[in-house]
């Protein structure tokens, strides 16, 4: 899967690209408006990660240009503006989603996955990890074919874990993913702990292995026992 990252801050671009590389994306970086336009004209990308503030132009006008020329790439806006700006001014119009800086990298990954899934709704709609399967259409999760009785938040959490399998997820990243704007003012730790505890219990009760390990003081990780 090919991704174009339009971000003028070189260090941030390098970090994101390196992370996405680990997730087996092909990630190219454009540092300026012109470079991005050129790349978009020459190659096709599945997803464009777009920073709004560029040294030689505005990301939003790039987005408009993209749509005008009928380029079909999905666009995820990455911006230092806060969420309210998007809501108040409709800044994200024409984009598939937006994420505000600073964001946890796993969250970015989850958003990209969600966008891709939306674009190819008919294709692969089942996520699997070891003996866990999650049907994204019906939002049903099964362990060894046995249906898990999960709440909406727990399902969401499990999907987030599977999407970021083998990676450590900080409590804050999990909280940001589960509660979005609501978590700003909350001590997320306890709440994340509760949800993870419930999820683990439901999986083991259904006869699954406990794939989620706690990294004390830090967060959680979903990994196969042999990894």
Partner 1 sequence: MKLNYRYTLAYAALTFCVLSLGFAIVYAALSRSVTQVTIGELENLNALAVRQLRNGAATVPDSLRLYVQASPVAATDTARRRRTVQVRPEWDAALQARVAVVRLTTYPVVSGRPYRVTSRAAVVEPRDAYLTGLVLVFAWTFVFLLALVVILSELISWRILRPFNATLHGIQQFALGQPHAIELPDTRTAEFRELNEFLVKMTARAQSDYRGLQEFSENASHELQTPIATIKAKLELLMDSELTEKQLGTLTTMHDELERLAKINHALTLLAKLEHFEPAPDTLADLSQLVPATEAAFADLAEMKGLATTQRIAPGVRVPLDASLAQLLLNNLFSNAIRHNVPGGEIRVELSATGLLLANTGLAPSVPVSELFGRFKKGNSALDSIGIGLAIVKRISELFGHRVSYEYAAGWHRIRLDFTESALVTD
Which residues are at the interface with partner 1 (CB under 8 A)? 9, 11-12, 15-16, 18-19, 22, 80-82, 84-85, 87-88, 100-106, 151, 153, 167-168, 170, 172, 179, 181-182, 184-187, 190-191, 194, 215, 217-218
Pick 147 or 215: Cβ nearer partner 1:
215
User: Among residues 14 and 144, whose Cβ is nearest to partner 1?
Assistant: 14
User: CA triplet 183, 9, 31: central angle to 5 degrees?
Assistant: 125
Q: Least Å distance between CB 150 and partner 1?
A: 13
Give whichever of 133 and 223 is closer to partner 1, judged by the CB atom: 223
> Phi/psi at 215 (nearest 5 deg)?
-100, 105
Nearer to partner 1, 16 or 143 (CB): 16
Whether the CB-CB separation of 163 and 113 falls below 8 Å is answered with yes
Measure Cα distances from 178 to 13, 39, 70, 157 in Å.
26, 35, 34, 7
Contact between residue 113 and residue 127 where contact means Cβ atoms under 8 Å apart: no
Reply yes or no: is the peptide bond before residue 102 cis, omega within 30 of 0: yes
Shortest approach of partner 1 to residue 83 CB, angstroms? 8
Strand order in the sheet with 47-51: 26-30, 2-6, 47-51, 74-79, 97-100
The 3-state DSSP class for residue 9 equals coil
Closer of 141 and 196 to partner 1 (Cβ): 196
Q: How far is the CB of 121 from partner 1 (least distance, A)?
A: 26
What is the nearest approach in angstroms of partner 1 to the Cβ of residue 194? 5
Q: How far is the CB of 184 from partner 1 (least distance, A)?
A: 6
Phi–psi pair at 78, nearest 5 degrees: -115, 120
């Amino acid at each position: 899967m090919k991704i174009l990252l339009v971000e003028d801050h070189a260090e941030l671009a390098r970090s994101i690209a390196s992370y996405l590389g680990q997730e087996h994306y092909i990630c190219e970086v454009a540092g300026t408006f012109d470079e991005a336009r050129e790349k978009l004209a020459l190659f096709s990308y599945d997803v464009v990660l777009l920073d709004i503030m560029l040294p030689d132009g505005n990301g939003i006008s790039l987005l408009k240009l993209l749509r005008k020329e009928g380029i079909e790439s999905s666009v995820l806006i990455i911006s230092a503006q806060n969420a309210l700006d998007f809501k108040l001014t409709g800044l994200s119009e024409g984009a598939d989603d937006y994420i505000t800086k600073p964001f946890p990298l796993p969250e970015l990954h989850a958003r990209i996955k969600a966008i891709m899934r939306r674009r190819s709704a008919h294709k692969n709609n089942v996520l699997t990890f070891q003996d866990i399967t999650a049907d994204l259409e019906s939002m049903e999760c099964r362990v060894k074919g046995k249906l898990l009785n999960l709440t909406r938040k727990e399902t969401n959490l499990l999907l987030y874990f599977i999407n970021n399998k083998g990676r450590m997820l900080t409590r804050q990243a999990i909280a940001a993913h589960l509660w979005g704007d609501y978590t700003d003012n909350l001590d997320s730790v306890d709440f994340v702990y509760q949800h993870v505890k419930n999820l683990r219990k439901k999986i083991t009760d259904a006869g699954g292995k406990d794939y989620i390990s706690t990294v004390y003081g830090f967060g959680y990780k979903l990994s196969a026992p042999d990894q």
